[in-house]
C-alpha cells in the first residue's frame, strides 16, 4: 500500500489486456488497451479509453473503425509484439502477423482467440489525458473458445495501468 489510497483502490480493479487495432486507408496500427467495456445491448456498443497522444487515436478518428483482439492467457506471447508504441517501434506492423478483418479491414492479430470489428460512433473528450472511443460492433469471430476467466488480463501478466 502507498500513501495514495485512490491509486491503490484503482489498481485493485481488474483490467483486461487487449489489442486495439485501427486502420485509415493503408495505414494500420495495433496497440494494447485495458480500459474496455460493453456499453449497450442494442445497439451493441463498446467503449475504449485511448490516450489522446496515441497514434491509434488519430487513426480511429480519421478511419472511423477499430477492432478489439482478445487473447487467452495461454497465448500472451502473441500480443507482446504490439505492446510498444508506434513511436518506440515504428516498424511493429511490418513485423506483426495479421490478417485484415472482413468488414472494416482492421488488423486481426495472429493468435487472437476472438476479435470484434467496430465502427466509431463517437469520440468523447472527457477532459483528461484519455478520450473514450465508442464503437458499434458490426462483426466478430471466435477462433479459440474460452471463458471470460481465460482471457488475458493485466493481473495475469503482472502489469498495472491504473492509478
Given the DSSP bridges, would you call strands 98-100 and 107-109 parallel, antiparallel or unpaired?
antiparallel
Give the list of residues 6+ apart from residue 70 with CB closer than 8 angstroms, or none: 16, 18, 112, 113, 114, 115, 116, 151, 152
pLDDT class of 14 with cuts at 50, 70, 90: confident
In angstroms and rounded to an integer, the radius of gyration of the C-alpha atoms of the chain is 15
Stated length of the chain: 163
User: Per-residue pLDDT averaged across 128-145, rounded?
Assistant: 98
> What average pLDDT does the segment 65-77 reach?
97
- Average pLDDT, whole number, for the chain? 95
pLDDT at 79 over 80: yes
- 41 burial level (CB within 10 Å; 0-12, 13-18, 19+): exposed
- Mean pLDDT computed over 58-64: 98
Question: Is 90 exceeded by the pLDDT of residue 123?
Answer: yes
- Banded model confidence at residue 29, pLDDT cuts 50, 70, 90: very high
CATH 3.10.20.740 fits 5-157, yes or no: no
For residues 50 and 65, the answer to whether their CB atoms sit within 8 Å is no
Residue 158 is predicted with a pLDDT of 85
Neighbours of 107 (CB within 10 A): 25
Amino acid at each position: 500500500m502507498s500513501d495514495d489510497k485512490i491509486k491503490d483502490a484503482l489498481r485493485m480493479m481488474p483490467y483486461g489486456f487487449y489489442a486495439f487495432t485501427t486502420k485509415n486507408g493503408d495505414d494500420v496500427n495495433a496497440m494494447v488497451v485495458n480500459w474496455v467495456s460493453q456499453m449497450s445491448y442494442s445497439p451493441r456498443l463498446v467503449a475504449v479509453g485511448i490516450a489522446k497522444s496515441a497514434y491509434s487515436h488519430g487513426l480511429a478518428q480519421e478511419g472511423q473503425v477499430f477492432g478489439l483482439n482478445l487473447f487467452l492467457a495461454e497465448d500472451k506471447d502473441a500480443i507482446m509484439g504490439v505492446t510498444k508504441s508506434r513511436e518506440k517501434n515504428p516498424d511493429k506492423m511490418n513485423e506483426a502477423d495479421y490478417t485484415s478483418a472482413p468488414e472494416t479491414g482492421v488488423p486481426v492479430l495472429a493468435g487472437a482467440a476472438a476479435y470484434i470489428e467496430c465502427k466509431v460512433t463517437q469520440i468523447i473528450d472527457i477532459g483528461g489525458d484519455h478520450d473514450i472511443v465508442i464503437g458499434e460492433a458490426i462483426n466478430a469471430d471466435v477462433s479459440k473458445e474460452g471463458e471470460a476467466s481465460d482471457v488475458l488480463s493485466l493481473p495475469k501478466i503482472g502489469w498495472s495501468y491504473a492509478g
